[in-house]
Structure formats: C-alpha cells, structure tokens
C-alpha cells in the first residue's frame, strides 16, 4: 500500500496544472488522497468487502487503486460535508452501504412528524406553534440581498448568536427548539431545509394553500451570518417596506401578498415591544387581515409601548404602522382591496410569493419543475 501511495502522489504531482489558482487545488487533492490512503493502510485486516488479489496483477494496478482511493475519499467528503440531498449510509459494523438519497416519501415523513407535533403541542400562545414556525421560515429567508447574493434560507445561520440575537428574531428560539426533535429523528435533513419545510407544513396545517417546496439547501457556519437590519421594522411605513422587500426582489403586489401572513400569530412586548393579535383567528390562514384593515376603524393605542393601532370596536386587535401603510399608499391599497374581496386570489398569490421567498439565493441543483407538494394531514 505504501508503494501505491507513492505512485499516486508522483502522478498527481506531475499531472496537476501549474497555475497559481490550481496550486491550492493540487495541494488539497494530495492532502485528501493522503488521508484516504492512510486510513486504508492502517485499517484492520478484518475489513469486509475485499477479496485477496492475484500476485500477478498488472503494473497499472497501483495507479488504479490510488485513483479509486481518492475518488472514495472525495465522495465521502462531499456527502458528509455538503449537507445536501445524499449521504453515505453505514452498516452495523461501519462498512459503507451506499448513498442515501431522500425521496418524496422521506420528506413526507418529516412533514408528518412536524404536523403531529403541531397538533400535540397546543400550549403555545393561541394554541399552536404554527404562527411562530411560519415566522422562523420567513425570517431565515427574508435576509436575502439580491445585489450581493447573500442571506436567504440557505445556511440556517440563525443557529448562531450574531443572527439569532438580532432584535427581529427575538422569540424564534421557541420555533427552533420545537423542531429539534424532528432533526434528531431525521438527521439527514439540513436545518435549512427543515426550517423551510416546517414553514410550508405550518401554512398547510393551518388551512392555508398547498405550497410547492423543494430541498437542496445546505447549512453554513457562523461566518455567513447576515448583518442586522435586513428584516422589516414594524414601526416604519411604506418607503421602508419598499426598501426592505425591494432588496429581496419583490414588487408592490408581492409585498402586500406576503403581508397577509399577519393574519397569523401575535406580537409580544418582550420581543418586538408591540402587543396583540392582528386577527380574531390567529391560527388560521385566511384573508381576514385585509378585511380587517379595510373594515375596522383604527386609532392609536394609548399605552406606554411603541406606536401601534387598536381597533375601535373591541380594542382587542392591533395593527402596526407598516400594516396601516398598506391602506395609506394607493398602490399598496389596490392589492389589499383585491385580496379582501377574493380569498382565492390571495391564496394563489400568497402561495407563489412564499415559494419565491423560501428559495431566494438558494443554489439549487434541481429545477423549479422538481418541486414537490406534500400532503396536509388535515386532508386525511
């Protein structure tokens, strides 16, 4: 085996390109080959899967074995570190059992576990973790910057303090913790895919539209955390909305469609500083957000907190300055009026813009037509 290693390294050194750029690649290639061949050299002789070779082998055999060793090492490195759609599975004694590529059925199992936990864990806020799961999927995706092609759902960098501690992400640890048992049961799925899939699951399980989804996101390290300030500030108005969403590549119609998610959940004083739900059914996806914006009378709430609006009739609902901007601005308002009148138009356009949001900046190897639709458990 030592002669195999020497032969291979001699060939690699002689045949690798000489440019300064490829020098780094050549060094990495030889390093990975050394690691792979060293492991094979010191592997116990009881290793399975190899027969005794003939002593009369051709003189080219060492080169072939060396190349195969490098390919195996490269394949293992890719599958274990890429965080993508395939992983090497091992048998009970550690031998390679081939590549595991998750199928639609595998992702349906992940979906079903999330859905069952949403049903079982009904002690959060208004009786569901659904809204905070949607917020997690939205906030991990809404950091995208089209000009620098940074941020977005690819990476799940909210796992790390610099991003997880951003003010706009306050309270999302509850959502991340909720999904940890799912990750433990299905360790092959990346956090990036898990969080976005969970968002799709929450929307569907809360009676929203069926949202096409595809895997292919990778997890990244702390160095890829995005800077603070990329998510909307509820205390501001229309120019801020256009700046934030325009950075991601959304137009006025898409901004209003995405805002319909405010039919879900509520604000908390210990997170955003604001308080209260936007709708009377905060765990059901509907067009109520638009209907209430137009149909109720809203006044400033008299309290010690930040500026927010309160419905006159019941004093139990709230709207943020960014919400009210949607009916103050004539271009935004026309879409609010359309969605308030037609819930199917809202469902259709919300679905499409949510798909776009969850895929921003993701370097998929699959095509848009490869998206899958996962079956809601509420349809069973």
Residues marked as catalytic: 139, 278
Number of H helices, E strands in the chain: 14, 7
Q: How far apart are CA 141 and CA 53, in angstroms?
A: 54
- Tell me whether strands 298-300 and 276-277 are parallel, antiparallel or unpaired: unpaired
Angle at 170 between CA 168 and CA 173, to 5 degrees: 130
Q: Are 175 and 209 in contact (CB under 8 A)?
A: no
Q: Which helix H or strand E contains 167, and what residues bound it?
A: none
Beta-carbon contacts of residue 15 (< 8 Å; ≥ 6 apart): none
Report which of 101, 104, 85, 102 is spatially closest to residue 372, judged by C-alpha positions. Answer: 104
For 244, the token pair is 């934030």
| φ/ψ of residue 276, rounded to 5 | 110, 165
Q: How far apart are CA 287 and CA 281, in angstroms?
A: 11
For 371, the token pair is 């998206």
Q: Are 190 and 182 in contact (CB under 8 A)?
A: no
């Amino acid at each position: 085996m030592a002669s195999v290693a020497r032969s291979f390294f001699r060939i690699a050194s002689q045949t690798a390109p000489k440019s300064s750029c490829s020098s780094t690649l050549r060094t990495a290639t030889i390093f990975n080959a050394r690691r792979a061949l060293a492991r094979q050299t010191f592997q116990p002789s009881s290793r399975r899967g190899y027969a005794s070779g003939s002593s009369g082998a051709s003189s080219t055999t060492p080169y072939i074995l060396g190349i195969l060793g490098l390919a195996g090492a490269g394949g293992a490195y890719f599958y274990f570190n890429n965080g993508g759609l395939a992983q090497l599975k091992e048998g009970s004694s550690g031998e390679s059992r081939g590549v595991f590529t998750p199928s639609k059925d595998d992702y349906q199992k992940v979906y079903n576990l999330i859905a069952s936990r949403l049903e079982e864990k009904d002690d959060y806020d208004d009786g569901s973790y659904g809204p905070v799961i949607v917020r997690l999927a939205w906030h991990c995706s809404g950091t995208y910057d089209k000009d620098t092609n940074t941020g977005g759902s690819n990476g799940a960098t909210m796992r790390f303090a610099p991003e997880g501690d951003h003010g706009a992400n306050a309270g999302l640890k509850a959502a991340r913790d909720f999904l940890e048992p799912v990750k433990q049961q299905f360790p092959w799925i990346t956090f990036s895919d898990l969080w976005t899939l969970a968002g799709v699951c929450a929307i569907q399980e809360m009676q929203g539209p069926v949202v096409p989804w595809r895997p292919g996101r990778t997890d990244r390290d702390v160095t890829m955390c995005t800077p603070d300030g990329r998510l909307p500030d509820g205390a501001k108005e229309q120019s801020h909305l256009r700046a934030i969403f325009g950075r991601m590549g959304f137009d006025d119609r898409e901004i209003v469609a995405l805002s319909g998610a405010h039919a879900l959940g509520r604000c908390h004083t210990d997170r955003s500083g604001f308080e209260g739900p936007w709708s009377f059914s905060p765990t059901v996806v509907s067009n109520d957000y638009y209907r209430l914006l137009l149909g109720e009378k809203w006044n400033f709430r008299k309290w010690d907190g930040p500026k927010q609006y309160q419905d006159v009739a019941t004093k139990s609902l709230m709207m943020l300055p960014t919400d009210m901007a949607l009916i103050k601005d004539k271009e935004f308002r026309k879409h609010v009026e359309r969605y308030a009148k037609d819930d199917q138009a809202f469902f259709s356009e919300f679905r499409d813009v949510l798909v776009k949001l969850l895929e921003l900046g993701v370097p998929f190897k699959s095509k848009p037509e490869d998206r899958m639709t996962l079956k809601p458990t509420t349809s069973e």
